[in-house]
Amino acid sequence: MVDSGVWPVDITFVSLVKIFDEPCKIKQAKQVHGCMVKLGIKADVLLGSALITMYSKCGGIDEIVRLFARMNKKDMVSWTSLLAGYVQNGLYLEAIKVSREMIEHKVLIDSFVIASLLCAFTMYKQLRFGKEIHAYALRNSSGLDVSVSNALITLYGKCGEIRKAEIMFQAMEKRDSICWTAMLTCYGQNDYGEKAVFLFCQMMKEGLRPHLFSFTGAIRACAALASIAMGEQIHSQSIKVGIFNELSVENSLITMYGRCGNIDAALEVFNWILVSCSHAGLVAEGHQYFKSMSTLYGLEPKMEHYACPFFLTVETETLNATLNIALLLPSPPSVLLPHLLEVAQWPPHPSLMSQIYSKEGCCFIDLPCSRIPSSRLKISVQDVENIFKLAKKGLLPL
């Protein structure tokens, strides 16, 4: 656009800043903001609110405060953007303070602001303030918005007011999956496991696609009831809808099978977590789960457990981590060691290979040169010298 000789205006930046919606994009967001300043474009109410929303999604709290303070005119949108920014970044006390300032400045509070405030009150279990906002919403609107109703169900559930949550749920004319999940979670948090499972079944009968947290709440309810039969059915449903690989579901399944006494099924799900980490390249997470087997749960890893973090580190070429796992392998070594030798040979890592060959039985491992990837055949003079040193010691076949 600039190369064509067309200079951007304020409405251009209003549209542009919408693409920066993740913390990892904050650097690019600041660059665009800086470009806007260099062009002399001042942030009016519309552009200022858009910038506040952008920094809210990117986690730039300091930028939000500075932008709002510099705005000459503030309307309902700018106040709402500031409040939502605090809520999105977990600064609930600041959000409550902003709501009080909005009331002092006689700013109209809409359903979005009410839902954001209820979220803040839920985190601190402020039931009294939640009831006041509920009353305010009833006085100033003909009916409650779906987002407000969902937020109220969550608030009452978190504060133990089950009956009020049920009244809110039953009074809703239209119920989406979020509403059902909120009520299901409410039952689960207050040890109403049977009602939680029944509600999940009703949700399925209504033809609604269960949310991720619907499965998590239902599985946890089965764990509390020690109902393995129902837990297995919900497990099957999670596979059918394709969310079995979600970590929260897998953790809930492990808890459920463990409490129901089916240790084999719990271990199978745990093994699948390691496999998922290996396939997704989650090095840190994979090693954390692998270590927790022995350190937290006192379980001795088997060869298939070693394989997951082993191939994970080999694929990401983190040789030190790979070596640490390889040296833990029981003797005589398994079929995993040849793969480590392949990584260690090209380019040569003499110390790594020496430690591998020192393990009992490693001298009988044959590693054909045909298995060495062509991309690893670029070696230096020093690499050649290392190869001959290893060959003289009988550690490397030539």
Residue-level pLDDT, tens digit, the chain, 398 residues: 766 777 778 888 888 888 888 888 889 989 888 888 888 888 888 888 899 999 999 989 999 999 998 888 888 889 989 998 998 888 888 888 898 898 888 888 888 889 988 988 898 888 998 998 899 888 887 668 899 999 999 999 999 999 999 999 999 988 889 999 999 999 999 999 999 999 999 999 988 888 899 999 999 999 999 899 999 999 999 988 888 778 788 889 988 998 898 888 887 887 777 666 666 666 666 667 667 666 765 666 665 556 555 555 554 445 555 555 555 555 444 445 555 555 444 444 555 555 555 554 444 334 443 333 333 333 344 544 554 455 555 544 44
Per-residue pLDDT tens over the stretch 359-386: 544 443 344 433 333 333 333 445 445 5
Task: Give the separation between CA 215 and CA 250, rounded to whole angstroms.
Answer: 10
Query: Which pairs with CB-CB distance under 8 Å and at least 24 residues apart come from 251-259?
Result: 252/215, 252/216, 252/219, 252/220, 252/223, 253/219, 255/219, 255/220, 255/223, 256/219, 256/220, 256/222, 256/223, 256/228, 256/231, 257/228, 257/231, 259/223, 259/224, 259/226
Q: Of 254, 262, 256, whose CA–CA distance to 292 is shortest?
A: 254
pTM above 0.75, yes or no: no
**Domain boundaries of the chain, sorted by first residue:** 1-108, 111-174, 329-398
- Tens-digit pLDDT profile for residues 158-209: 999 999 999 999 999 888 899 999 999 999 999 999 999 999 999 999 888 8
What is the structure's pLDDT at 373? 39
